[in-house]
Structure 1
Amino acid sequence: MPLINIVYASQRHAPSLKKDIAAAITALTAGILHKDPKVTAVIVSEADPADWFAGGASLAEQELASYWIDVHVTEGTNTKDEKAAYLAAVFARMAELIGPLHHETYLHVDEVKADAYGFGGLSQEHRYHHRH
């Protein structure tokens, strides 16, 4: 049930780009982090490359793209190896979608305590105890 917040800056523009990004990240999150896509929420926002600075220059000046992805998952549900594989796979897929990436491109997997995280008015802790 992750909540995924994606902000990206790219010279590429296509009517379906935001939907393509959301679909790609949802698929990678399901495949690598084992999160159910039926309860995955994704917010995709675009930033102007002229307004995104990395290494002292705008992405527009450098003719590069970048992203900030913040993924909230329940603490302890993924291994270090899964998170490492996810970081690498997302980087590769986003490069395909939005163009050559600046090295200073970020993804953060936030591991949130189960009693403080949930959806539909119920915590993940509550769901766990009612399943077991």
Structure 2
Amino acid sequence: MPLITVTYATSRRSPTLKADIANAVSELTAKILHKDPDVTAVIVKAVDAADWFAGGRSLAEQKLASYWIDTHVSEGTNTKDEKAAYLAAMFTRMSDLLGPLHHETYLHVDEVKGDAYGFGGLSQERRYIAGKLEVAAKAA
């Protein structure tokens, strides 16, 4: 049930670019972080490359692209190796979509406590407990 925000800048134009980014992010989040794509929300925002500065120069001037991806997941649900693989795979996939990336390109996996994070009016902790109770009731 991650909530993922993608902010990107590129000179590439495509009528499907935002959808392509959302699909790629959702796919890699499911494959590497094992998150259900049916409850993954992705927000995609474009920023003009002339308005994004890295190293004191705009990306437009440098003829490079960049992104900031902020992925919120429940604390303790992914290993360090999974998160490292996610960052690497996302960099490769986003480079394919956006073009050559500036090395100052970021992805943050924000691990949120289960009692402070949720969707549909329920915290992840309550969902976890409900799932355990359901399994116990079926076993009884």
TM more than 0.5: yes
SS, match of residue 50 in structure 2: helix
Which whole-Å deviations, capped at 9, do the CAs of 1:47-91 have from their partners, x for residues lacking one?
A: 000000000100000000000000000000000000000000000
**Partner residue in 2 for 1:77:** 77
Q: How many Å separate the matches in 2 of 1:109 and 1:88?
A: 13
| Structural mapping, 1:25-36, within 5 Å | 25-36=25-36
TM-score (norm 1): 1.00
TM value normalised by structure 2: 0.94
In 1: Cα distance, 2:68 partner to 2:123 partner: 26
Aligned length in residues: 132
4+ long deviations beyond 6 Å: none
Deviation at 1:5, TM superposition (A): 0.2
Match of 2:118 in 1: 118
C-alpha distance in structure 2 between counterparts of 1:108 and 1:114, whole Å: 18
SS at match of 2:6: strand
Matched, 1:57 2:24: no
Are residue 43 (structure 1) and residue 34 (structure 2) matched?
no
Aligned-pair CA distance for 1:7: 0.2
Distance in 1 separating the partners of 2:110 and 2:74: 8
For structure 2, list consecutive stretches of 5 or more residues without a partner in the other structure: 133-140
Aligned to 2:94: 94
Q: Distance in 2 between matches of 1:85 and 1:112?
A: 20
Query: How many Å separate the matches in 2 of 1:59 and 1:26?
Result: 26
Q: CA RMSD in A?
A: 0.2
The Cα shift of 1:96 comes to: 0.1
Deviation of 1:24 after TM superposition, in Å, equals 0.3
Which amino acid in structure 2 is aligned with residue 13 of structure 1?
R
Deviation of residue 117 (structure 1)? 0.1
| Cα distance, 1:121 vs structure 2 | 0.1
Residue 73 of structure 1 aligns to a residue whose secondary structure is: strand
Larger Rg: 2
> CA shift at 1:129, angstroms?
0.3
